Chain A
Amino acid sequence: MRTEQTMTLEIFRYHPETDSEPYFQAYEVPYDEDWVVLDAINWIKDHVDGSLTHRWSCRMGVCGSCGMMVNGDPKLTCAAFLKDYYPRPIKVEPLVNFPVERDLVVSLDGFMEKLQAVKPYIIRDDVNDTTGGEYRQSPAELARYKQYSMCINCMLCYSACPVAGHEEEFLGPAALALGHRYNRDSRDRGRAERLDVMLAGEAIWGCTFVGECTVVCPKHVDPAGAIQQAKAVAAQEYFKRFVMPRGAKGAET
């Protein structure tokens, strides 16, 4: 319902070709209790300032592209309702712990590299061999990783994670949860080579289980839980080396 009221959005602005430092610009937007923050930003872009740059696509919590800091909290702006903030002003910033490309748009480069690093796909020698039919999986086997497969790569977890901001080597919540998702998949045989990546340096060990990644995740993936489980697997593997030298590496699920 559109009303006569308005509210203020204070938006982070940064255009690299003209600005050496970012600044905040206040915009007055109509207050509609059905609107989400993304609607208000789109309204500004369409009616007030076409130079405002932001990412969005599905506006229904599936695509994962409209993540921003809303009053300091990483949120999907398509799921952050104005009525939850009205009448106070809303401060909108690009996701923290990422370099800012322009206004509300952050660089995805580092995140994409980290996602690819964990080999987020099923690894097995006979992956193209269909002579035996499909690779079957029971509902119980599916249940072991399904939660970790719900990630939409919105990167809110990276903005909630202090370690992601401080440690370059840290692969971060989403990438590690995705690696763990494949490690728990009964069809996969690539656990050993995936663990080689996940357990190197600070890739996983940078995590100190702050747990805020899980708090902000819009898809209830629980990356914090996934990471601790992966660490427990790592500890088991570490001590197994002494019990079973060589051998069973990679065969287990």
Chain B
Amino acid sequence: MSGRYHRPHGWAWFLARPGYLRFMARELTGFFVAGYLVLLLVTLCRLGAGEAAFAQWLQELSTPSWMFAHVVALVASVWHSVTWFAAVPQAMPIFMGEKRLPAPLAAVVMGYGPWLTVTAVIVWGVLR
């Protein structure tokens, strides 16, 4: 049948709803986390190059521009964690008989709990 009207779809669809902007913010963490992982590999590379090279690299990293880059990486990676833990109870329902584990509890059990433990262990491992 002819005469149907098809509304155009623009590339800027993500501006249409606040939820789309939150979605884009979550997806963009992929770019920042990837960037950080490359930086982490560079750090491991400098570590392999010897004590002096590593110390020099760490000196470099203590400059304000690298600090700012790491603040951005931290915000992005934490946002990834928060959005991921919000999604986990939706994607992995846990049933106990007829009852489904409530989402906030599931997020703590499968997300925030392990996250804080892992973070604490890693920070302790380096500082001890």
Contacts and interface: CB of A to CB of B under 8 A. Distances in A.
B14 A229 contact: no
A72 interface: yes
Interface string A84-100: 00000000000010011
Nearest to A146: B98
B17 A232 contact: no
A21 B3 CA distance: 10
B93 to A, nearest CB: 7
B4 A229 contact: no
Range class of the A interface residue count = 35 or more
A250 interface: no
Interface stretch (A3-11, A48-56, A136-144): A136-144
Interface of B: 2-7, 9, 13-14, 16-17, 19-20, 23, 27, 87, 90-93, 95, 97-100
Given A211-B23, A232-B91, A16 B3 contact: yes
Contacts of B91: 225, 228-229, 231-232
Given A210-B19, A210-B23, A222-B90, A162 B13 contact: yes
Given A139-B98, A209-B87, A232-B91, A96 B7 contact: yes
A96 B17 CA distance: 13
Contacts of A169: none
Given A140-B98, A143-B98, A72 B4 contact: no
